[in-house]
């Protein structure tokens, strides 16, 4: 981005008057008991009267600081940081109200008395200045605590505008953080004394109802949940600056991590990303945004906004300068050298570390904070009481204390059950960060998981190895659900159409999350590193952003309809809401507006692939992003989701039409909606996606996605060599056959050993009596016969790589000794599913509620549907699915059993329909007798026509 600067004329003003300040006569500016002479001498050379300044913390506690009269903003802020021991300090700042009662940030490089008229009578507030897009980037628990207090302050002041439901959810987490687990009397007393929302009385019962669900959450968890919810709101971190556009329409300007935002009321109407802005400047009350010519054309490259005064204009411009520097620059900007005689433009520059420098500083310096005591904590220990030797005081440090205790108790033992010594949440604490949540952009950081779960893909000593990415869904950190499931099930309608409609809702939630991988997470990654060419940025995000915005509204509409159908929302509203066809018809018609966008997906995939080969920085960002947990599938798979979703709508509507009889009131709408579903062929796009995915996973071949080449099948076979049978991974295309091996590589790739053209190839089956076997089915060779290198390779790759990279079908085929065809891939696309399931604990009657997503032959497990990345995964290739037998001692309905060798899992659905759907989609992904029989060589009798 080009230079950001301000331009203004130097005006003659009375001594001591701030530029642009209102001239006020007749009002004393003296401190109480201060004479005019002493006031005039306060800034004199011979006088060194100190300043006593009050600072209000984010917990509303006020403290006084004694400073020198000539102290600057930085020395003041440093003293505040020293007292509260805040390490990630650059996210914060001190603010005060100016004469116009606007909150203004204290500038570090200027004297305090030059910025504040009466500093000893002014209340300064510690506040969050820079809101990162992802709370996982905050590495200190104390920092996240302060951020949650900022969200609390914004809620109270009405700055964080959101729906009443969301506000109640946020308030419930804040109550959990303050007083612990739900108690009716304590909740009412707390909410009576403490105001969390402007309209708290109206939603108090809802707050308490939601709070009841948070039993067992630690303060650290509640802080993280508050930030996770808040960051998804449009008003997250937004501070309005009232302005008007050229037509005089009243608007609000704001600045955030991604750029400038324009609001009309509380509705965001435009966003100008930093990559689109060439220059920001101001002239008197005019605020000017100069865009790059390619964004709006040569004749519309400057946007003008009018603010209330020159001071307000300059304040907003300074905020923009600081946000741009903090989030976009790699290093701290150098101060501009002062001109000797005169200068044009402001010398203001951001003073502090950039976000990149701050993250690296905290991570690399090895700083460790001491456990801190939370002020005015009222937390009851009830469900969180640990053991008699745990200190009774409730502090933020108790989490780390319990982790240390768990480490001490657990690791000498080999069994998982030993973790149950303490019923507390466990997550790893390493030497570089306190964060229980990884940053989506930090590829060098340690592997950390959510504090509420510890999902491991590696087995503990003394335990049988789990098959590839099988989740060790242990009891630690999860809620055992011994709830009255029969009673809860009675709340739901029994009509099959309701559960079909609910499938639309649950899969739409997953679909929107998948779109966010591109529109939010990947965009943030490429913007942060300025890695993507502007033309490709426009093509990619102008293509998918409108689709994402449409489906946000669509999801809300479906959610509201299901709430009415269940009778749990707006019970007073009269009407026939036990149908979904009208909602589908309305939105399928609206989707036709995006025909042009959907037709560009082929171009987007092609251009992105070309750019990653041409631009080294983009290739690096692309690879690093694919290793993030949020990117749980190969990245270009997410680009196909809009086309795949059309197919899902078609299949679901067909199911509804088949269920309804023609006279049904919902039948005609569903039929019409089915006609309106856009038709689009996925075959060519799926083939291109698969070829580009393999290109990244194979070493030793170029231009795999050549025109006309089609992927047919991939699978694991044993090749007869001089050293005997060696495991190899084979890839069959329309024009050639590749075979590869998997060595110990840091990139988890397969190395190409042979490339055989199909043209002129003769394929035949050798007779067994000749004693020759060229391709032998792998399951006839035991796992113990794998070479030592291969065994080490699998362990090494699982240890070093992110979870999803070992979940691609080629890696699963390698470990499970099976194969997958392109037709199987197409079938898997049709059978995507998501929803809540109950998973049975091993050797226990307890059930654990998980949000489960099925896609790409794999089950992905989340704690709730709001989580951004899966906590564990279970590839299904090679598994069998069935209903429990008598020996399993499962006495519940709608339970299905997954088994691969000695690994067994039981899951329970909420209804007969959802049970049948899960069985259907899992059978489509697990190994079938028909597909496996293709690999089994016929015996001599069969080859000679014997039965």
Q: What is the per-residue pLDDT across 496-531, written as a single tens digit (0 to 9) for each?
A: 999 999 999 999 999 999 999 999 999 989 988 889
* Token duo for residue 105: 């940030």
DSSP states of 231-290: TTSTTTT---EEEE-TT--EEEEEE-SSEEEEEETTEEEEEEEGGGEEEEEEETTEEEEE
Q: Quote the radius of gyration of the chain (alpha carbons, Å).
A: 31
Q: Sort strands 750-757 and 698-699 into parallel, antiparallel or unpaired.
A: parallel
Collapsing DSSP to helix, strand or coil, 87 comes out as coil
Q: Is 566 left (phi over 0), alpha (psi -120 to 50) or beta?
A: alpha
Q: How far apart are CA 371 and CA 141, in angstroms?
A: 10
Torsion angle (degrees, nearest 10) of CA 22, 23, 28, 31: 50
Which own/partner pairs from 414-418 qualify as long-range (CB within 8 Å, at least 24 positions apart)? Answer: 414/460, 414/461, 414/462, 414/463, 415/460, 415/462, 415/463, 416/460, 416/463, 416/472, 416/474
> What is the distance between the alpha carbons of residues 746 and 699, in angstroms, rounded to a whole number?
12
> What secondary structure does DSSP assign to 135-161, as a single string?
GGG---HHHHHHHHHHHHHHHHTT-S-
β-strand 123-128 against 51-56: which pairing, if any? parallel
* Size of the chain in residues: 947
Structure tokens given for 552: 């946000």
What pLDDT, on the 0 to 100 scale, is given for residue 344? 53
Burial of 399 (0-12, 13-18, 19+ CB in 10 A): buried
| Closest to 741 (Cα-Cα) out of 768, 757, 723 | 723
- Cα 770 to Cα 762, 774, 867, 947: the distances in Å are 18, 12, 58, 22
Q: Which of 635, 623, 627 lies closest to 801, judged by CA? A: 627
239, 344, 676 from 308: Cα distances, Å? 16, 23, 49
Domains (range + CATH), the chain: 238-332 (2.30.29.30), 497-679 (1.20.900.10), 696-779+805-815 (2.30.29.30), 823-927 (2.30.29.30)
DSSP 741: E
What is the CB neighbour count within 10 angstroms for residue 704? 21
Which among 178, 154, 142, 126 is positioned nearest to 229, based on CA atoms?
A: 154
Tokens, residue 730: 């084979």
d(CA 199, CA 194): 12
Question: What does DSSP assign to residue 518?
Answer: I
In this structure, are residues 805 and 748 in contact, taking their beta carbons and an 8 Å threshold? yes
Nearest of 333, 355, 247, 290 to residue 1 by alpha carbon:
290
Q: What angle do CA 867, 872, 874 make, to 5 degrees?
A: 130
Structure tokens at 515: 């779109």
Residues of the chain scoring pLDDT < 70 = 1-49, 294-300, 332-347, 365-492, 568-575, 743-747, 765-807, 842-843, 927-947
- Rounded to 10 deg, the angle between the 912-925 and 496-516 helix axes is 50
Sign of CA dihedral 399, 402, 404, 406: negative
Contact between residue 108 and residue 74 where contact means Cβ atoms under 8 Å apart: yes
d(CA 415, CA 463): 7
pLDDT recorded at residue 820: 87
Give yes or no for a contact between 106 and 112, defined as CB atoms under 8 angstroms apart. Answer: yes
Fill in the DSSP letter of residue 183.
-
pLDDT at 372: 56
pLDDT of residue 369: 56
The pTM of the full predicted model, rounded to 2 decimals, is 0.51
- Give CB contacts under 8 A, 24+ apart, made by 162-167: 162/233, 162/235, 164/199, 164/202, 164/203, 164/206, 165/206, 166/229, 166/233, 167/197, 167/203
Of 555, 476, 473, 465, residue with least CA distance to 870: 473
* Secondary structure of 438-487 as H, E, C letters: CCCCCCCCCCCCCCCCCCCCCCCCCCCCCCCCCCCCCCCCCCCCCCCHHH
Nearby residues of 108 by Cβ (< 8 Å), 6 or more positions away? 72, 73, 74, 77, 351, 352
Q: String of b and e for 251-277 (b: at least 16 CB within 10 Å)? A: bbbbbbbbbbbbbeeeeeeeebebbbb
Residues 196 and 152 sit within 8 Å (Cβ to Cβ): yes
d(CA 341, CA 326): 31
Cα separation, 514 vs 501, whole angstroms: 20
At 692 the three-state DSSP class reads: helix
What is the C-alpha end-to-end distance of the chain, expressed in Å? 75
What distance in Å separates the CA atoms of residue 163 and residue 656, rounded to the nearest whole number?
32
State the DSSP string of 900-928. ETTEEEEEE-SSHHHHHHHHHHHHHHS--
DSSP annotation of 520 reads I
Please tell me the distance from the alpha carbon of residue 83 to that of residue 86, in angstroms, as a whole number.
Answer: 8
Q: Which residues make Cβ contacts (< 8 Å) with residue 25, sequence separation at least 6?
A: none
């Amino acid at each position: 981005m080009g230079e950001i600067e301000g331009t203004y004329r130097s005006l003659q003003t009375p001594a001591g008057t701030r530029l642009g300040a209102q001239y006020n006569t007749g009002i004393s500016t003296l401190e109480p008991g201060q004479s005019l002479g002493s006031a005039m001498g306060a800034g004199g050379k011979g006088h060194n009267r100190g300043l006593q300044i009050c600072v209000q913390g984010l917990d509303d506690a006020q403290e006084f600081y004694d400073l020198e009269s000539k102290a600057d903003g930085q020395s003041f802020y440093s003293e505040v940081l020293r007292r509260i021991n805040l390490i990630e300090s650059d996210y914060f700042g001190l603010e005060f109200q100016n004469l116009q009662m606007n909150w203004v940030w204290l500038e570090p490089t200027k004297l305090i008395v030059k910025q504040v008229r009466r500093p000893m009578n002014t209340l300064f507030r510690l506040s969050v200045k820079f809101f990162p897009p992802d709370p996982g980037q905050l590495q200190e628990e104390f920092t996240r605590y302060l951020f949650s207090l900022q969200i609390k302050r914004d809620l109270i002041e009405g700055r964080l505008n959101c729906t009443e439901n969301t506000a109640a959810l946020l308030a419930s987490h804040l109550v959990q953080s303050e007083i612990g687990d739900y108690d009716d009397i304590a909740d009412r007393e707390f909410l009576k004394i403490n105001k969390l929302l402007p309209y708290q009385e109206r939603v108090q019962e809802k707050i308490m109802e939601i709070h009841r669900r948070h039993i067992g959450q630690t303060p650290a968890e509640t802080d993280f949940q508050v930030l996770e919810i808040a960051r998804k709101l449009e008003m997250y971190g937004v501070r309005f600056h009232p302005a008007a556009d050229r037509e005089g329409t009243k608007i609000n300007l704001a600045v955030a991590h991604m750029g400038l935002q324009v609001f009309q009321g509380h509705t965001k109407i435009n966003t100008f990303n930093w990559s689109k802005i060439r220059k920001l400047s101001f002239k008197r009350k005019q605020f000017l945004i100069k865009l790059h010519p390619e964004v709006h054309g040569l004749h519309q490259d400057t946007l003008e906004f009018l603010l209330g005064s020159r001071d307000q204009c300059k304040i907003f411009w300074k905020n923009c300068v600081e946000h741009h520097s903090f989030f976009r620059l790699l290093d701290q900007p150098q101060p501009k050298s002062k001109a000797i005689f005169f200068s044009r433009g402001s010398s203001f520059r951001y003073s502090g570390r950039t976000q990149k420098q701050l993250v690296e500083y905290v991570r690399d310096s090895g700083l460790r904070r001491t456990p801190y005591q939370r002020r005015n904590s009222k937390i009851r220990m009830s469900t969180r009481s640990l053991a008699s030797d745990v200190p009774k005081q409730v502090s933020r440090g108790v989490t780390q204390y319990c982790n240390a205790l768990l480490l001490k108790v657990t690791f000498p033992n080999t069994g998982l059950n030993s973790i149950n010594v303490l019923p507390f949440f466990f997550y790893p604490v390493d030497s570089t960060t306190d964060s229980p949540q990884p940053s989506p952009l930090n590829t060098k950081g340690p592997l950390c998981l959510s504090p509420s779960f510890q999902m491991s893909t590696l087995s503990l000593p003394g335990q049988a190895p789990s098959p590839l990415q099988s989740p060790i869904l242990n009891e630690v950190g999860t809620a055992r659900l011994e709830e009255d499931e029969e009673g809860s099930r009675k709340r739901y309608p029994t009509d099959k159409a309701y559960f079909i409609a609910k499938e639309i809702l649950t899969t739409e939630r997953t679909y929107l999350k998948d779109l966010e991988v591109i529109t939010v997470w990947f965009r943030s990654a490429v913007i942060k590193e300025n890695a993507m060419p502007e033309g490709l940025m426009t093509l990619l995000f102008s293509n998918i952003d409108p689709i994402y915005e449409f489906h946000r509204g669509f999801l809300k509409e479906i959610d509201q309809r299901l709430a009415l159908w269940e009778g749990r929302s707006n019970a007073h509203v009269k009407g026939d809401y036990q149908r979904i066809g009208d909602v589908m018809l309305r939105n399928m018609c609206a989707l036709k507006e995006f025909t042009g966008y959907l037709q560009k997906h082929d171009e987007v995939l092609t251009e992105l692939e070309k750019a990653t080969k041409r631009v080294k920085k983009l290739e690096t960002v692309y690879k690093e992003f694919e290793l993030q947990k949020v990117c749980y599938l190969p990245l270009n798979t997410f680009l196909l989701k809009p086309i795949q979703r059309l197919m899902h709508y078609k299949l679901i509507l067909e199911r509804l039409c088949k269920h309804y009889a023609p006279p049904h009131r919902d039948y005609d709408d569903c039929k019409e909606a089915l006609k309106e579903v856009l038709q689009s062929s996925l075959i060519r796009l799926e083939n291109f996606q698969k070829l580009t995915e393999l290109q990244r996973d194979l070493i030793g071949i170029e231009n795999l996605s050549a025109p006309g080449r089609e992927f047919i099948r991939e699978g694991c076979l044993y090749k007869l060599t001089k050293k005997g049978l060696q495991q190899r991974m084979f890839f069959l295309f329309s024009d050639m056959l590749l075979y590869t091996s998997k060595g110990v590589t840091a990139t988890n790739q397969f190395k190409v050993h042979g490339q055989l053209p199909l043209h002129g190839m003769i394929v035949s089956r050798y007779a067994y009596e000749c004693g020759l076997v060229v391709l032998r089915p792998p399951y006839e060779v035991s796992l113990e016969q794998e070479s030592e290198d291969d065994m080490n390779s699998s362990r090494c790759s699982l240890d070093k790589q992110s979870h999803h990279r070992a979940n691609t079908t080629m890696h699963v085929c390698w470990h499970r000794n099976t194969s997958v065809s392109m037709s199987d891939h197409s079938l898997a696309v049709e059978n995507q599913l998501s929803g809540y399931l109950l998973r049975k604990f091993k050797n226990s009657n307890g059930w654990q509620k998980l949000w489960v997503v099925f896609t790409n032959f794999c089950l992905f497990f989340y704690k709730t549907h709001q989580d951004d990345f899966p906590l564990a995964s279970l590839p299904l290739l090679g598994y069998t699915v069935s209903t429990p037998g008598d020996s399993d001692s499962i006495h519940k309905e709608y339970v299905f059993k997954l088994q691969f060798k000695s690994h067994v899992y039981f899951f329970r659905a909420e209804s007969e329909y959802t049970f049948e759907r899960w069985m259907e989609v899992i059978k489509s992904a697990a190994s079938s007798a028909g597909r496996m029989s293709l690999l089994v060589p016929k015996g001599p009798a069969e080859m000679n026509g014997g039965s």
